[in-house]
Amino acid sequence: MFNSHNFDVLGSTLASTLRRWRGTMGSSKTAQPEKAPELFDREGCPHCRLVREALTELNLDAMIYPVPQGGVRHRQRLQELSGGDTVPFLYDPNTDEKIAGAQAIVTYLFRQYRAKQPPAALRESFINMTGSRLATLVRGGKGLTAAPSNAPKKPLALYSFESSPFSRLVRERLCELELPYLLVNLSKQQLADLGPAAQRLHLGDYKPLPGSKREAFLKEHGRVQAPFLVDPNRGEGAGLFESAEIIKYLNAAYAV
């Protein structure tokens, strides 16, 4: 029997399809910088989506500071860094660079961390922005507007990749609740990574690329599945799989 969460998953799958599943495959060559770049983001924003797709395709982790419409929790820091309150905005503590706008951010990330130009599919072209706006439309405004919440003492951590329909549902709620989190990208890097966790396109035991974040995750948790939430503020929130369970936890722990 279908419930509201199942319909949400279908809508999220359609959103990924409209973006042609950008933000799925990631680089195996990008080294993580010493400090995570900080992204001031709004999950449902069509421009922000391009930046998150770039982060996944570079396989870069980032600290996400959600700035939903009507939200105030991270707006002052955004204004101090950028002089305004427009998202997306990136601050890279490794280089002290401050960059506003999706096109400039995507270009910076590819140049800084891969020494190359970004692919055409991540540029703010008419076609790309049309697909991203349609993806926002089918999500019905989720991940855009702030909801009352209690602030955590420490940022959460979410293991995700941009096109994951299940991960999107969690990111939407994190944004609405203005909960900062370390986004750990578990990009797919080979054919064996494709498909759901229990039905991957491979024969025999699943083996992520050696030295990858996926390999480390498999060793620690016995499977590679996104989303996965870690909340250092509450013991019962450590190590949650399954989007429905994570959203239920976030609502109980932080929604007002």
Q: Is residue 126 within a helix (H) or strand (E), and if so which, with residue range?
A: helix 126-138
Q: Could you give phi then psi for residue 121, rounded to 5 degrees?
A: -70, -10
Q: Count of CB atoms within 10 A of residue 100's CB?
A: 16
pLDDT by residue (tens digit) across 52-103? Answer: 999 999 999 999 999 999 999 999 999 999 999 999 999 999 999 999 999 9
Position 200 confidence tier, pLDDT thresholds 50, 70, 90 = low
Say which range, 42-51, 145-154, 191-200, 237-246, has the weakest mean pLDDT: 191-200
pLDDT the model gives residue 236: 58
Please state, in angstroms and rounded to a whole number, the distance separating the CA atoms of residues 238 and 34: 24
pLDDT the model gives residue 183: 98
Position 48 confidence tier, pLDDT thresholds 50, 70, 90 = very high
Burial class (CB in 10 A: 0-12, 13-18, 19+), 138: middle
Between 238 and 217, the higher pLDDT residue: 217
Residue whose tokens read 């999950």: 43
pLDDT by residue (tens digit) across 111-138? Answer: 999 999 999 999 999 999 999 999 999 9
pLDDT the model gives residue 4: 86
pLDDT the model gives residue 67: 98
Q: In what order do the strands lie in the sheet with 97-100?
A: 97-100, 89-92, 38-41, 62-66, 181-185, 156-160, 228-230, 240-241
Q: Could you give phi then psi for residue 176, rounded to 5 degrees?
A: -60, -35
pLDDT the model gives residue 234: 83
pLDDT the model gives residue 33: 96
Q: State the DSSP code for 163.
A: T
pLDDT the model gives residue 199: 63
